[in-house]
Every structure is written in structure tokens, then in C-alpha cells.
Amino acid sequence: QVQLVESGGDLVKPGGSLKLSCAASGFTFRDYYMSWIRQAPGKGLEWISYISSTGSTKYYSDSVKGRFTISRDNAENSLYLQLKSLRAEDTAVYYCARVGQSGSSHFDNWGQGTLVIVSS
Amino acid sequence: DIQMTQSPSTLSASVGDRVTISCRASQSINNWLAWYQQRPGKAPKLLIYKASTLESGVPSRFSGSGSGTEFTLTISSLQPEDFATYHCQHYHGYPWTFGQGTRVEIK
């Protein structure tokens, strides 16, 4: 079955950096687009980044553009999110999600999330 | 950016009730809309995509309808496991955005 397992969340100081990972299994990773979505404590969901199956196309929300970088390693079945210049408002649970196929870009599978806390 | 507005924010209902949640887009998104269920402390789970297509394995008491700017998620007979928060999300151009969520609580 499809499994997505995030890791790398931690407590980090404002201005700091962190790299999140998402290990994928149970499907042909290289065939799928992937995304990162986050959820601040007690808040709604916020899509933050997308990457195409080959990694050639990437999109970011305005809130993270220029600070976060999405990447993937299809040989390792892994998705990454590099976070830099972190702010208190980046505190959230970060989910990786698989983008559905059949011409519809919904998120059909999600990981369990990894918590990033930005605080001094 | 396209804004997604859900109503109500909180809904109190009893087991067996028919429940309807609305989601409005600030501009037409055709039928590029998904609904997710999120239980406390858990990741969201896909229920509906393309506005009305039921995800495999999701009970048939869940249904979605609408197109353009107005969409609805209906639970025909609320079950105990359905008490959760529901999110709509559009994927008609970037950035993809979510509604603020609707919490379904026990009356």
C-alpha cells in the first residue's frame, strides 16, 4: 500500500534552516507529482510547494517563495523540502502528499506529518 | 489568488443526521475541487475529487456536487466516525488553496 513517511521536523531558532524528508513506498514514485502542505497549530491547511515527476517543474506559495526549496530523488524514492530563513509563522506540521493522476491534481495520499517549531 | 470559503465553520449534528457543508470559490474553478476529512491529530484523507468523484474505499454516504463557484459535501447519514473537520481545496491554477475547514461536532 502507499506509504509516505516524513522526517526532519525539529525546534529551530528564527532565521535558522532545516531539511525535511519524505520517504515514499508502495507505488512507482517517479511517475507521480508530489507536494508539501502545512498546517499551523489550530489552523487550516496551506499548500506550499509542488514538484513534477522529473523535478523539472516546481511551484511555491508566496509565503515560502525564495526561502523554501522542494526537490526529489527518484532513485531513492524520496521528496525533500529545504527550509531557510525560518520565521515563527512557519511553525506547523508539514505533510508530504502525492498528487493524483487521471488528470486531476488532488492529493490522494498523505504522510503523517512532521512538526517544525520556530522559536527562540 | 482564488479564495475558498467554507460554511458553516462549525456544525453540530447527531448520528443519523443528513449533513451539508458548503464551499464557495472566489472565481470559477470548473470542477477542480477536492474534499478531505481530518480527524484530530491525524493527516487529512481524500474523500471526493473533481467535485463529485468518490475516492475508492470511501463510504457511499459521502457525496459531492457543484461546479463553477459553488460546491457541496453531503453526508447522508452521519456516523460516529464522521465527527471530524472537513476541508475543501481547489486545484484550478496556482496557488492551490484550501477552505478554512468545517468542524462537525456531536450535538
Q: What is the mean pLDDT of residues A46-64?
A: 97
Helix, strand, or coil here: A88?
helix
CA distance B82 to A15: 40
CB pairs under 8 A between A and B: 58
- Minimal C-alpha gap between B48 and chain A (Å): 9
Least confident piece of the model among A33-37, A101-105, B24-28, B59-63? A101-105
Q: What's the whole-number average pLDDT of chain B?
A: 97
Residue closest to B11 by CA, chosen among A41, B19, A96: B19
Percent of chain A with pLDDT strictly greater than 70:
99
Chain A residue numbers with beta carbons less than 8 Å from the beta carbon of B44 are: 45, 95, 107, 110
Grid cell, residue B103, equals 468542524
Helix, strand, or coil here: A29?
helix
The closest CB to that of A47, out of B45, B50, B97, belongs to B97
The alpha carbon of B90 is separated from its chain's Cα centroid by a whole number of angstroms, namely 11
The answer to whether the CB of A117 falls within 8 A of the CB of A11 is yes
Q: What is the mean pLDDT of residues A8-22?
A: 98
B55: contact with A, CB 8 A cutoff: yes
**What is the chain A residue with the closest CA to B31?**
A104
pLDDT at A101: 81
The answer to whether the CB of B2 falls within 8 A of the CB of B99 is no
Residue closest to A94 by CA, chosen among A86, A105, A102: A86
A112: contact with B, CB 8 A cutoff: yes
The closest CB to that of A108, out of B42, B55, B96, belongs to B55
The pLDDT confidence band at residue B79, using thresholds 50, 70 and 90, is very high
Q: Would the pLDDT of A26 be above 80?
A: yes
A95: contact with B, CB 8 A cutoff: yes
A25: contact with B, CB 8 A cutoff: no
Q: What's the whole-number average pLDDT of chain A?
A: 97
pLDDT at B73: 98
Instruction: Give me the residue label for grid cell 532565521.
Output: A15
pLDDT at A78: 98
Grid cell, residue B90, equals 481547489
Q: Please answer yes or no on whether B45 and A108 come within 8 Å at the CB atom.
A: no
The pLDDT confidence band at residue A103, using thresholds 50, 70 and 90, is confident
Chain B residue numbers with beta carbons less than 8 Å from the beta carbon of A95 are: 43-44
| DSSP, residue by residue, B25-50 | ESS--TT-EEEEEE-TTS--EEEEET
The answer to whether the CB of A46 falls within 8 A of the CB of B98 is yes
Q: What is the mean pLDDT of residues A23-34?
A: 97
